[in-house]
Structure 1
Amino acid sequence: MRQQVLVLYLATSALDSQVVGWSRYDGTGRTRPTTGDGDEPPYLTGLAALHDGWRLFQASQLLPPQSGHEYDVSFLKHEFFFEKLEEDPHPRT
């Protein structure tokens, strides 16, 4: 089995909120790693990824902004990691 990883950055901490950024990593070797490939995200929400069989294994910790820094621009903070396990396309014998 080989792991595929999908990282979705959502508009809020809710899994049914809109995807605003994404990255994919394919341990099967069938596709190259991509960051935000194309103009359209692979799913509109994190919940849609769950419906398609992706397993959620990590969500970013919710931290309130420091006083006086509520409007600072920084990293995308609503990050969710998903995985799928696929059959190895090149099994070792």
Structure 2
Amino acid sequence: MTRRQQVLYLWMDGASLDDAVIAWAFHDGTAGAGPPPPGGPAHVEPPYVTGVGALEDGWMLMQSAQLIPPAPGHEHTNSYLEYEFVFERRVDVS
């Protein structure tokens, strides 16, 4: 058995893990040999409703969102999704 890492990015509607997931990305270091996230890797809907759901399913939180206020005058400028949380799990593959 070999251990490989899977990484799940969840972008929330706010700064809390209880907030709704609005976007997501899944990166599979097992090349498809490990378990997919709920709904499968090609699923259109987010695999979890909130970040807490990922924790409850065994994902480990690696990084939470940095709370950086927008520069004055740029409060309504479109940019990257602010509330990014990064999760990982390690799985055994043969």
Aligned partner of 1:56 among 28, 47, 61: 61
Output the amino acid matched with 1:25. H
C-alpha deviation, 1:7, in angstroms: 0.3
CA distance in structure 1 between the aligned counterparts of 2:83 and 2:7, rounded to whole angstroms: 16
Give the CA RMSD over aligned residues: 1.5
Output the amino acid matched with 2:76. Y
Aligned: 1:74 with 2:79: yes
C-alpha deviation, 1:37, in angstroms: 3.7
Aligned length: 85
CA distance in structure 2 between the aligned counterparts of 1:70 and 1:30, rounded to whole angstroms: 41
Give SS of 2:61's match.
strand
Structure 2 residues without counterparts, runs of 5 or longer: 34-40
CA distance in structure 1 between the aligned counterparts of 2:43 and 2:32, rounded to whole angstroms: 18
Output the amino acid matched with 1:59. S
CA distance in structure 2 between the aligned counterparts of 1:15 and 1:67, rounded to whole angstroms: 27
CA distance in structure 1 between the aligned counterparts of 2:25 and 2:42, rounded to whole angstroms: 8
Task: Tell me which stretches of 4 or more aligned residues in structure 1 moved more than 3 Å.
Answer: none
CA deviation digits over 1:23-75, x for unaligned, max 9? 001111116xxxx8433110000010000000001113110111111111110
Structure 1 residues without counterparts, runs of 5 or longer: none
